[in-house]
Homo-oligomer: A and B are copies of this chain.
């Protein structure tokens, strides 16, 4: 049995939900309410010492870090593939993924917002500007990269979803929540809408899985 430690508003968990659904992998979700600090419970820290979501249990193995989990899923459940079949394509898709997973998402998550408010005394408006700054910085570059590159297709890379779309879609959902206007980013918006026509993306969306299913 595969168990996903999950929370509907966790962007990194959202990525794993998409991949599991795209690949048709059966799993059970154990929901940890981030707002209530459930990811810091002693029980969860025994599963993932970092106290971050997601974690994926496959038998006795516990996988953490969404990039590592996605690579693992793609290697062990290769159909459909989430990476292109050329080294050049894989490098492009992994770079697009990391632009979001490393350069953007870590700056805009809850743990950083908590520090900005608690330790730096920032108000909600300042935290909102902070989030919009980093998302806009990345989206501005990403938009020109996607628009300029013939490797972009219906999706970030060609005409099938890849790791790049799996990172992009949750970041677009976060961007909207943070009040980032998407009009300046037509390629990003177009790819987001294209993904939302796929059941795996739609059913992984936070709005589709907000009802806790505690174990």
Q: Given B61, B94, B105, B133, which contacts A119 in the complex, CB threshold below 8 Å? A: B133
Across the interface, do B119 and A120 meet the contact criterion of CB distance under 8 Å? Answer: no
What's the number of copies of this chain in the assembled complex? 2
- Partner-binding segment picked from A64-72, A154-162, A197-205: A64-72
Tell whether A98 pairs with B65 under 8 Å between CB atoms, given A106-B103, A107-B112, A133-B115. Answer: yes
Across the interface, do B133 and A126 meet the contact criterion of CB distance under 8 Å? Answer: no
What is the chain B residue whose CB lies nearest that of A83?
A: B71
Q: Measured between C-beta atoms, what is the minimum distance from A101 to chain B in Å?
A: 6
Interface residue SS majority, chain A = helix
A208 proximity list for chain B (CB < 8 A) = none
Across the interface, do A72 and B98 meet the contact criterion of CB distance under 8 Å? Answer: no
A3 interface residue per 8 A CB criterion: no
Q: Measured between C-beta atoms, what is the minimum distance from A95 to chain B in Å?
A: 4
Q: Measured between C-beta atoms, what is the minimum distance from A151 to chain B in Å?
A: 12
Q: Given B67, B76, B94, B106, which contacts A87 in the complex, CB threshold below 8 Å? A: B76
Most buried by B among A51, A91, A130: A91
Tell whether A102 pairs with B141 under 8 Å between CB atoms, given A61-B88, A90-B72. Answer: no
Give the interface of A toward B (CB within 8 A): 49-52, 61, 63-69, 71-72, 75-76, 87-88, 90-92, 94-95, 97-99, 101-103, 105-107, 112, 115, 119-120, 122, 126, 129-130, 133, 141, 144-145
